[in-house]
Amino acid sequence: MARLRDLLRPALVLAAILLPPGMARAEPAGCSAPPDAMEAAPLPGSVAALSRGALRVMVVGSASTQGGGTSGPAATWPERLEKVLGTRVAPATVQVSVFGGRGTTAADHARIIAEQAPRLRPHLIIWQLGTVEAARGLPPDEMVEAVQDSVAKLRASRGERTDVVLVDPQFSRFFRANADVETYRDRMRLAAAASGAQIFSRWTIMRHWAETERLDLERAPRAGRVAMADELHDCLARALTQFILQGTLRGPASAPRDRPPG
Amino acid sequence: MFTSIHSLVRPGRDLRVDFIRGLALWFIFIDHTPGNLLGQMTLRNVAFCDATEGFVLLAGYAAGIAYGRAMEREGWAHAAARVAGRVGTLYVAHIFLFVVFTAQVGFSAAALDQAAYLDELQLDPFGAEPYRAMLEALLLRYQPAFLDILPLYIVVLAMFALVLPLIGRPGWLLAASLTLYAAARLLDWAPPSWTGSGWFFNPLAWQLLFAIGVVLGRADPQALARRFPWNRWLAALAVLLLLATAVLLNLTWHGPARGWEVPEWLAAWLSDVDKTGLHPVRVASVLIMAWLVAHWLPAGARWLNGPPAAPFVLMGQQGLAVFCAGIFLSFLGRLALELASGGWVQAAVNLAGLAALVAIAVVSAWYGGDGKRRRAPALPASAQGATP
């Protein structure tokens, strides 16, 4: 019986993905994030982990992974991701560990990954970077090097068992006006393409939300800002969930032939 | 209106250079207003190089002509003093723009009240240590975003004053420049910065483009045409290379979102093309473009001499004033795009921006900003009437 369940697990995962459980809102999953930004390439490491029943996610990043104006740690996007993704892939479990902190750079993150990955053996690394670099005008070349070295080392040690998704800065008009964000985003995209990592473009998604007036933290009245930040992080977690699920659907191990008969 | 602008154009120069320079200055204004939709249509979206490369190359070209002549006529000390005077002007302009930038950041931070939202933004060095930042800015060791071209220009021009005697020996000048470029790239030579790691544009590398510009500006056009003869096949190859670059870059940036992947080795090569150290591919890219433009746009092209091209030609001739005004205006443009969005703001920012740039060029040419050496044209009748 247990063996049968093991066999069926990938199918259960698939079903969970295809049939989102009771959707509270009458909007598409992922808070109406633009489909372009949700296009993920296959995530073999996550697929394999989900089919075995447990996905270990390592989140590394700067301030937004820790608080980012939300009502508390439980409302940040990494925490919400654990809940939202966990619900969607149940009975498989999702465990998210968060590293980094305010003001940490890509080089700091690379060091953290080098230290923690062998211990944690994550199946998916979500690496949020670029904001500190752009805000301080740090050399983009160093950011690119950190990403490429780090992903190459992960490849060497973990092979296809660990997927890497880069997350770019949060969209903000203030930030756009006062830092050269596009340069860093361009370089980040090249670094991702060069190392085989993927990009989850928080910038594109949040810009879309701001432009369509779906979620616009900068224009939110002061009183409603914390609630809006909570919603923003929740929506980011939902969009990221969609992104990851899409990547796992395209993964080689989730071929439709595993679908149970009937 | 075009005709009156046209009357201010200084004749007797290579108007192509002025025109392209004017265009580069306009692109720099556009690229310095993030969020500007026109920003998706500038050179940086389709080529390895962007307006900065063109600006530095043509700055060298203009400097080669102007200071080369001064060098021949008045000797090194005089010519160098003149370059030093220019460096001083640029330095003051840079500090002025720095003050404007700081005020603008402060203003928009208050206007948008971005408090806890982007925690990281409060890490900007000026906010953390304003007094230190002021000192570091004066030392050019602190350069906020978008204020990195003038420091580059200042240092490169100061270096130019030192090597002026080599101007009669283009081979030596190029060899010295290439050596420094190679050393900067291979040995990681770079001036220090406050934040710890180099300038956004390393002047020790970027001086190469300026030096190439100087040599081109000094060269006899006919000799130049003999040295780099036109070849249709080579030109076709060059165009093909530029097109391939445009496709490749866009595929790598935008492909993954549509499910197209560029091979990793190719992307790895692309991501090695750095701007800070002026990757050789960027030099090649701007030089290939210069070669093509020089051929396709003959010096005597009629439209260049006509009124419609005059605004850009004039902008190019009044380079420094227009450049500084462009950076200043881009601050205002950013504020506008920050506080409002939509088609009309975009149109207003771009129309007003370009109009203001042209106006600055007109005023500067009229009272003789960059063209001091020529007698100022007569004042318009009304203005004359107003002066006692």
User: What's the pLDDT tens digit per position in B133-171?
Assistant: 899 999 999 888 888 899 999 999 999 999 999 998 999
Flag whether residue B256 sits within 8 Å of chain A, measured between CB atoms.
yes
Q: How high is the pLDDT of residue B289?
A: 93
DSSP per-residue string spanning B238-280: HHHHHHHHHHHHHHHHHSGGGT----HHHHHHHHT--TTTT-H
**For residues B86-108, b (16+ Cβ closer than 10 Å) or e, as one string?**
bbeebbebbeebbeebbebbeeb
Q: How high is the pLDDT of residue A47?
A: 92
Looking at per-residue pLDDT, the higher value among A158 and A110 belongs to A110
Q: How high is the pLDDT of residue B288?
A: 94
How many whole angstroms separate alpha carbon B184 and alpha carbon B155? 15
- From chain B residues 262-291, the ones with a CB under 8 A of any chain A CB are 262, 264, 267-271, 274-277
How many whole angstroms separate alpha carbon B308 and alpha carbon B310? 5
Tell me the shortest Cα–Cα distance from B201 to chain A, in angstroms. 10
**Could you tell me which chain A residue has the CA closest to the CA of B249?**
A190
CB-based contact B114 A67, cutoff 8 Å: no
Contacts of B276 in chain A (CB under 8 A): 139-141
Q: Are B80 and B164 in contact (CB under 8 A)?
A: yes
Tell me the shortest Cα–Cα distance from A132 to chain B, in angstroms. 6
How many whole angstroms separate alpha carbon A75 and alpha carbon A227? 10
Tell me the shortest Cα–Cα distance from A115 to chain B, in angstroms. 24
Residue type at A52 in one-letter notation: R
Least confident of A17-31, A56-70, A106-120, B115-129: A17-31
Q: Is A32 left (phi over 0), alpha (psi -120 to 50) or beta?
A: left
- Residue numbers of the domain that contains A67: 2-16+33-253
Residue type at B348 in one-letter notation: A
Using CB atoms within 10 Å of the CB of residue B352, give its burial: 0 to 12 exposed, 13 to 18 middle, 19+ buried.
middle
Q: What is the pLDDT of residues B61-102, one digit of tens each?
A: 989 998 988 988 999 999 999 999 999 999 999 999 999 888
Per-residue pLDDT band at A209 (split at 50, 70, 90): very high
Per-residue pLDDT band at B285 (split at 50, 70, 90): very high
**Could you tell me which chain A residue has the CA closest to the CA of B107?**
A174
Strand partners, A56: A95
Within 10 A of A90 (CB to CB), how many other CB atoms are there? 13
Name the domain count of chain A.
1
Contacts of B205 in chain A (CB under 8 A): none
Q: How high is the pLDDT of residue B352?
A: 92
**For residues B3-26, b (16+ Cβ closer than 10 Å) or e, as one string?**
eebbebbbeeebbbbbbbbbbbbb
Residue indicated by tokens 């042209």: B358
Residue type at A102 in one-letter notation: R
| Percentage of chain B lying above the pLDDT 90 cut | 38
Of the partner residues A132, A180, A198, the one whose CB lies closest to the CB of residue B120: A132
How many whole angstroms separate alpha carbon B379 and alpha carbon A45? 75
CB-based contact A180 B108, cutoff 8 Å: no
Choose the most confident range, by mean pLDDT, from B66-70, B117-121, B366-370: B66-70
Which whole number is the average pLDDT over A42-53?
91
**CATH number (domain holding residue A38):** 3.40.50.1110
Flag whether residue B124 sits within 8 Å of chain A, measured between CB atoms.
yes
* H helix runs in B113-169, sequence order: 125-128, 130-138, 149-163
3-state helix, strand and coil shares in percent for chain B, rounded to the nearest 5: 75, 0, 25
Q: How high is the pLDDT of residue A32?
A: 84
Contacts of B120 in chain A (CB under 8 A): 62-63, 102-103, 131-132, 135
The answer as to whether A260 is a domain residue is no
The answer as to whether A27 is a domain residue is no
- From chain B residues 186-215, the ones with a CB under 8 A of any chain A CB are 195-198, 200
Contacts of B108 in chain A (CB under 8 A): 174, 177-178
Which of B45, B119, B123, B273 to probe by mutation at the A interface, max A CB count within 10 Å? Answer: B119
The answer as to whether A262 is a domain residue is no
Q: What is the pLDDT of residues B27-65, one digit of tens each?
A: 999 988 888 888 888 888 888 888 899 999 999 998 999
Structural tokens at position B326: 């462009």
Which whole number is the average pLDDT over A19-40?
68
CB-based contact A39 B259, cutoff 8 Å: yes
Looking at per-residue pLDDT, the higher value among B35 and A128 belongs to A128
Q: Are A77 and A61 in contact (CB under 8 A)?
A: no
B28 CB contacts (<8 Å, ≥6 apart)? B51, B52, B55, B149, B323, B326, B327
Q: How high is the pLDDT of residue B60?
A: 94
Choose the most confident range, by mean pLDDT, from A82-86, A139-143, B3-7: A82-86
Of the partner residues B253, B264, B337, the one whose CB lies closest to the CB of residue A196: B264
Looking at per-residue pLDDT, the higher value among B197 and B163 belongs to B163
Q: How high is the pLDDT of residue B370?
A: 53
Looking at per-residue pLDDT, the higher value among B115 and A114 belongs to A114
Tell me the shortest Cα–Cα distance from B262 to chain A, in angstroms. 7
Within 10 A of B223 (CB to CB), how many other CB atoms are there? 9
The answer as to whether A49 is a domain residue is yes
Which whole number is the average pLDDT over B251-272?
82
Contacts of A174 in chain B (CB under 8 A): 108-109, 112, 114, 118, 121, 338
Q: Are B35 and B328 in contact (CB under 8 A)?
A: no
B318 CB contacts (<8 Å, ≥6 apart)? B360, B361, B364, B365, B369, B370, B371
Coil, strand or helix: which one is A108?
helix
Of the partner residues B104, B108, B120, the one whose CB lies closest to the CB of residue A135: B120
B129 has pLDDT over 50 = yes
Q: How high is the pLDDT of residue B123?
A: 58
Mean pLDDT across chain B, nearest whole number? Answer: 84
CB-based contact A172 B118, cutoff 8 Å: yes
A171 CB contacts (<8 Å, ≥6 apart)? A202, A203, A204, A205, A206, A207, A210
B203 CB contacts (<8 Å, ≥6 apart)? B151, B152, B155, B156, B159, B191
| Integer angstrom CA distances of residue B331 from B115, B308, B319, B328, B352 | 21, 28, 19, 5, 13
Q: Are A229 and A170 in contact (CB under 8 A)?
A: no
Per-residue pLDDT band at B193 (split at 50, 70, 90): confident
Per-residue pLDDT band at B113 (split at 50, 70, 90): low
Q: Is-above-0.90 flag for pTM?
A: no
Flag whether residue B165 sits within 8 Å of chain A, measured between CB atoms.
no
Q: How high is the pLDDT of residue A11?
A: 52
Least confident of A25-29, A198-202, B32-36, B79-83: A25-29
CB-based contact A69 B108, cutoff 8 Å: no
Tell me the shortest Cα–Cα distance from B356 to chain A, in angstroms. 20
Of the partner residues B115, B119, B252, the one whose CB lies closest to the CB of residue A190: B252
How many whole angstroms separate alpha carbon B248 and alpha carbon B201? 24
Contacts of A102 in chain B (CB under 8 A): 119-120, 123
Residue indicated by tokens 């000048």: B173
CB-based contact A137 B143, cutoff 8 Å: yes
A96 has pLDDT over 70 = yes
Structural tokens at position B178: 């290439």
CB-based contact B108 A178, cutoff 8 Å: yes
CA dihedral B156, B162, B168, B170 (to 10 degrees): -40
Least confident of A15-24, A146-155, A229-238, B305-314: A15-24
Q: Is A51 left (phi over 0), alpha (psi -120 to 50) or beta?
A: alpha
Tell me the shortest Cα–Cα distance from A191 to chain B, in angstroms. 6
Per-residue pLDDT band at A1 (split at 50, 70, 90): very low
Coil, strand or helix: which one is B225?
helix
Which of B37, B101, B271, B282 to probe by mutation at the A interface, max A CB count within 10 Å? Answer: B271
**Could you tell me which chain A residue has the CA closest to the CA of B115?**
A69
Q: What count of Cα atoms within 13 Å lies in the side-chain half-sphere of residue B368?
A: 8
Contacts of B39 in chain A (CB under 8 A): 182
Q: Report phi then psi at A238, rounded to 5.
A: -65, -45
ipTM, two decimals: 0.80
How many whole angstroms separate alpha carbon B284 and alpha carbon B57? 12
Strand partners, A57: A96, A124
Q: How high is the pLDDT of residue B307?
A: 81
B203 has pLDDT over 90 = yes
Q: Are B315 and B359 in contact (CB under 8 A)?
A: no
How many whole angstroms separate alpha carbon B154 and alpha carbon B141? 13
Contacts of B335 in chain A (CB under 8 A): 177
Flag whether residue B305 sits within 8 Å of chain A, measured between CB atoms.
no
How many whole angstroms separate alpha carbon B178 and alpha carbon B175? 5
CB-based contact A69 B119, cutoff 8 Å: yes
Mean pLDDT across chain A, nearest whole number? Answer: 83
Per domain, the residue ranges of chain B are 2-372
Structural tokens at position B51: 């307006």
Tell me the shortest Cα–Cα distance from A223 to chain B, in angstroms. 12
A258 has pLDDT over 50 = no
Contacts of B338 in chain A (CB under 8 A): 173-174, 176-177
Q: Are A196 and A155 in contact (CB under 8 A)?
A: yes
In what helix (H) or strand (E) does residue B323 lie, and over which residues does it extend?
Answer: helix B319-339
How many whole angstroms separate alpha carbon A183 and alpha carbon B148? 13
Q: How high is the pLDDT of residue B378?
A: 39
Within 10 A of A33 (CB to CB), how many other CB atoms are there? 26
